[in-house]
Amino acid sequence: MGGALRVRRALAAGLAALVLLGLGAAPGGDPEVPERYISVDEVKALLDLKQAVVFMDVRVKEQFDELHITGARNISLRDLPRLLGDVPRKDLVVLY
């Protein structure tokens, strides 16, 4: 399977998982962060334009170790609220 196809499938699976998990509202003390769903095609277009994109894989470590986007960081969805300080503030961050 080609690398681009693997990345597209991983992104699609991750985006679908986020939708199915129905992420709730952030706790009241967290800063407001703009958020929206972004398609695989939109991410690819940004990468083609050489825009900085940070991929955060929110699956458990075992799934991350099995397959992930090259350069992605792994913070499980369960640990994300506790580790928000590790999420870049200036770059576009794509959770999958």
pLDDT (0 to 100) of residue 7:
64
Residue 50: inside a domain: yes
Alpha helices, DSSP H only, in the chain? 3-21, 40-48, 61-66
pLDDT (0 to 100) of residue 23:
47
Residue 28: inside a domain: no
- List, for residues 14-68, the tens digit of each pLDDT value: 655 554 445 454 455 555 667 888 999 999 999 999 999 999 999 999 999 999 9
**H-helix or E-strand spanning residue 57:** strand 53-57
Q: What is the CATH number of the domain that holds 81?
A: 3.40.250
Residue 30: inside a domain: no
Question: For residue 14, with 0-12 CB atoms within 10 Å meaning exposed, 13-18 middle and 19 or more buried, which class applies?
Answer: buried
Residue 58: inside a domain: yes
Residue 76: inside a domain: yes
Domain count within the chain = 1
pLDDT > 90 fraction of the chain, expressed in percent and rounded: 45
Residue 27: inside a domain: no
Residue 29: inside a domain: no
Task: Look up the domain containing 83 and give its range.
Answer: 3-22+35-95
Does the global pTM surpass 0.85? no
User: What are the CA-CA distances from residue 80 to residues 3, 4, 23, 86 (Å)?
Assistant: 27, 27, 12, 9
